[in-house]
Chain A
Amino acid sequence: METDLRRQIGELVDRGAEPLSFYEIRARRKRAPRPWRGAMVASGVAIGVAGVAAALTLSFTGSPGVSSGRVHAVGEKHATGAVLTAAMVRELASASRSALAYSGYAAITYRSSGTAVQPDYGTEDVTFSGANWNDVFSESIVHPSSGATNTWYSISRVVDGQAYQYIPTTSREPHWVHPTNPGAVQAMNIPDPRTLLQALQPGAGFSVVGYQLVDGVRLEHVRATRLNGLDGFAASLRWALPDEHIRALDIWADSAGVVRRMDISLSGTVRYYPVALTHAQVQAMADNHLTIADIARNEGIEPVYESESTSLTLAFSGIGQRQTIVAPAGAVDIYERG
């Protein structure tokens, strides 16, 4: 009996122990060699990126710069922040996409405020496992004068290609419905939280802020320093208000380079018309395809420009772990037209 023992030994070892990434190597040590620091900062050394190599950076700062009470700064050494190389940012994006390729859980919280908009805040918890999805969305709107809060929520679910929706109601009607019409799954428009990884653009100039413990996991905190190129990303954020631009982008990644958390701040100027529409005007808009701007022009009302801002936090967990998403019992079949 003959066998290709040589090939099998090589494949066995390389398959069982994959090449080490710089993240793993770097995670073993808290400090960069001291002699490197001053020299590198002073000379602005050009770093080539070749093969598996990505620029390695290590620094500690004591300022976590995050608002969550669950985040604690670790390490007390202060060092100049370092800018990640393009290759390293790509490695972050690649590792995150790979880890989240099949399953995970994303908790998104957002809060918008401004002089032109009613303050609102909400959460969107998205669970995904293969082609199955569960999306719990909650939104609260604060009345500007009374301060009263109006909250509503919904659940959208996809199991084995079938759409289900939970509609809160005070009546005795069943809460869960099962739209059976074609396109029902797409119509639910469940957001894929992995699209937020688009923020990992090499041109954003991510720089190391420090290391922190978040829920017991040691994370590297990086911050975007060049925000001009992220307008396209801002426009893709459904939780942001129109015409907002990114003002701050912070990302936390674990030792494997997988993004665990993102904090995004946006602000902008919104144009609105102080018009209280009558029923007839609403009807006219529908019949004649008019906009509020058309109505305001007809009424001689000038637009008002006000500032607005949104803060958004995304936290991934259960990364790569199978998530249980099952069809709800007792869902009533409905067929939606149009």
Chain B
Amino acid sequence: LKPQIEEGIAPPLEFEAFVENAEPVLRRALVAAYGFEDGRDAAAEALGYAWEHWPRIRVMPNAIGYLFRVGQSRSRRYLRRRPVLFDTSAWPEHRFEPGLPGALAALSQRQRVAVVLVHGFGYSLREVAELTGIKVTTVQNHLERGLARLRVQLGVSDGD
């Protein structure tokens, strides 16, 4: 697409690039933590916060990790007693292991984030550690325990 000459208020190119880079990992991490609907909503809150405070966010060394915590704090306000839901009942086709949503929901929040990001999307342990603000070895523990629990619950061995 050709560059557009704009007038007035518009986001800097760097913000667009930042969102393009940060949105997938933020959304996936917060969805892993809080479920489809609330996690996505928390990600939108976090990126909206980034939009409003961009001059401050842009100079942060770990802006995505900071926004992950923004998303957590925003979602905690109204998610404290709500169960984590990965509701696939409305989906017309059944391409997924039927027990997967429930088994994921049964993991601890940190186990779920580690399993989804590292195992599901191939993020490195270091990336997840920076995002969540915990040590690499701790992420690895959460991942291994989460995967073990998941496999037991589903009665599967991961083919890949």
List residues of A whose CB falls within 8 A of some B CB: 1-20, 22, 24-29, 31-33, 35-37, 40-41, 44-59, 79-83, 85-87, 207-208
In the complex, A32→B48 CA distance in Å?
A: 10
Instruction: Report the nearest A residue to B115, measured CB to CB.
Output: A9
List residues of B whose CB falls within 8 A of some A CB: 1-13, 15-17, 19-20, 23-24, 27-28, 31-32, 36-37, 39-40, 43-45, 47-49, 51-55, 86-88, 91, 95-97, 100-101, 104, 115-116, 119-121, 150-151, 154-160
In the complex, A50→B13 CA distance in Å?
A: 9
In the complex, A22→B16 CA distance in Å?
A: 9
In the complex, A7→B51 CA distance in Å?
A: 32
Instruction: Report the nearest B residue to A207, measured CB to CB.
Output: B8
Given contacts A5-B159, A83-B4, 10 further A-B contacts (CB under 8 A): A8-B95, A12-B86, A20-B27, A20-B47, A26-B48, A33-B52, A44-B5, A55-B4, A56-B11, A59-B8
> What are 15 residue pairs bridging A and B, where the CB atoms are less than 8 Å apart in the complex?
A2-B157, A8-B95, A10-B121, A25-B47, A28-B44, A44-B5, A49-B3, A53-B19, A55-B11, A58-B9, A80-B9, A81-B7, A82-B9, A86-B4, A87-B1
Q: Please tell me if the beta carbons of B5 and A25 are within 8 angstroms of each other in the complex.
A: no
Residues of A within 8 A of B155 (CB): 1
In the complex, A45→B151 CA distance in Å?
A: 53
**A9, A46, A58: residue with the most chain B Cβ atoms closer than 10 Å:** A9
Residues of B within 8 A of A50 (CB): 1, 16-17, 20
Q: Please tell me if the beta carbons of B96 and A47 are within 8 angstroms of each other in the complex.
A: no
Q: Please tell me if the beta carbons of B13 and A20 are within 8 angstroms of each other in the complex.
A: no
Q: Please tell me if the beta carbons of A9 and B44 are within 8 angstroms of each other in the complex.
A: no
Instruction: Report the nearest A residue to B40, measured CB to CB.
Output: A17
Q: Please tell me if the beta carbons of A46 and B5 are within 8 angstroms of each other in the complex.
A: yes
User: Across chains A and B, which 6 residue pairs bring their CB atoms closest together, nearest first?
Assistant: A28-B48, A9-B120, A53-B16, A82-B8, A2-B159, A16-B36
Q: Please tell me if the beta carbons of B47 and A36 are within 8 angstroms of each other in the complex.
A: no
